[in-house]
Structure 1
Amino acid sequence: MKFNTVIPKGLRIYYYNELKLYRNFLHKGELSTAWYHLERTHILGQSYPIEHSYTHWLMLKFGLRQRNIKEVFGQVIRLLVGGWKSFIDHVPIGNTGGSDVPPLKKMELSPDLAHILNKYRKN
């Protein structure tokens, strides 16, 4: 069994770039584009407990801002279990992390994210 504790430096750059894009679009009030980048942040960080949990925290805050009870409830559940699943590297690759998709559903990656993740995936 492999344990993930720290996101690789190269992958961290992509993760933080998506976070920056999320914040920029959120600040502009472009909520659907902000959410898109938050989902990409989730995909990039879901194998690492800190990044995974932090993304779900941001998704929870987003849901609260939108007064979206389904999203808030879904994120609370994900915050309770997501981090430890990352630690043991048992995450559904490509899952966007929102409450609109089942938490364990593996999803197809966009070509750019597949390329990025393949460079940093542990074997």
Structure 2
Amino acid sequence: MKFNTIMPKELVSFYQNELQLAAENLKLNDLQIAWHHLERAHIIGQKYPYEHSFVHWKMLQFGIKIKSTKEIVGQIPRLLVGGVKSFVGHIPVGNTGGANVPPLKTMEIPEDIQEILKLNA
């Protein structure tokens, strides 16, 4: 079994860029674009416990901001167990992390993110 603990430094800038874009669009109240970037950060970071949990924390905050009970309730268990699942390498690849998708559903990874992950595998 492979334990994932630290995100490779080559991925950090892509992950942080998505979080930055999410924050910027949230400030502009462009909620759809902000959420899109949180989902992308989730896909990039989901193999790594800290990054995975942090995105779920940001998604929970987003749910609170938009007053979405579904998102708030959906993020709490993801926040509690997502990092553990990352640590033991048991994640649904490509899952975007929101309460609008089943937590264990594997999903298609966007091509540009596939390239990023391939280069940094």
Aligned to 2:105: 105
CA distance in 2, matches of 1:117, 1:94: 11
Q: How does 1:3-22 map to 2 (within 5 A)?
A: 3-22=3-22
CA distance in 1, matches of 2:79, 2:39: 15
Aligned to 2:66: 66
Q: How does 1:1-123 map to 2 (within 5 A)?
A: 1-121=1-121
> Where do 4+ consecutive residues of structure 1 move more than 2 Å?
none
Task: Report the residue type matching 2:104 in the other structure.
Answer: L
Describe the SS at the equivalent of 1:90.
coil
CA distance in 2, matches of 1:12, 1:89: 18
CA RMSD of aligned residues (A): 0.7
Identity %: 55
Task: Report the residue type matching 1:99 in the other structure.
Answer: A
Task: Report the residue type matching 1:61 in the other structure.
Answer: Q
1:80, CA displacement in angstroms? Answer: 1.3
Task: Report the residue type matching 1:120 in the other structure.
Answer: N
How does the TM-score come out when normalised to structure 2?
A: 0.97
CA distance in 2, matches of 1:62, 1:21: 14
Task: Report the residue type matching 1:79 in the other structure.
Answer: L
CA distance in 2, matches of 1:117, 1:74: 27
Describe the SS at the equivalent of 1:89.
coil
1:86, CA displacement in angstroms? Answer: 0.3
1:5, CA displacement in angstroms? Answer: 0.5
How does the TM-score come out when normalised to structure 1?
A: 0.96
1:118, CA displacement in angstroms? Answer: 1.8
The C-alpha deviation readout for 1:67-102, integer Å capped at 9, x for no partner, is 100100010010111010000111111100000000
Describe the SS at the equivalent of 2:5.
coil
Uncovered stretches (5+) of structure 1, i.e. residues with no partner: none
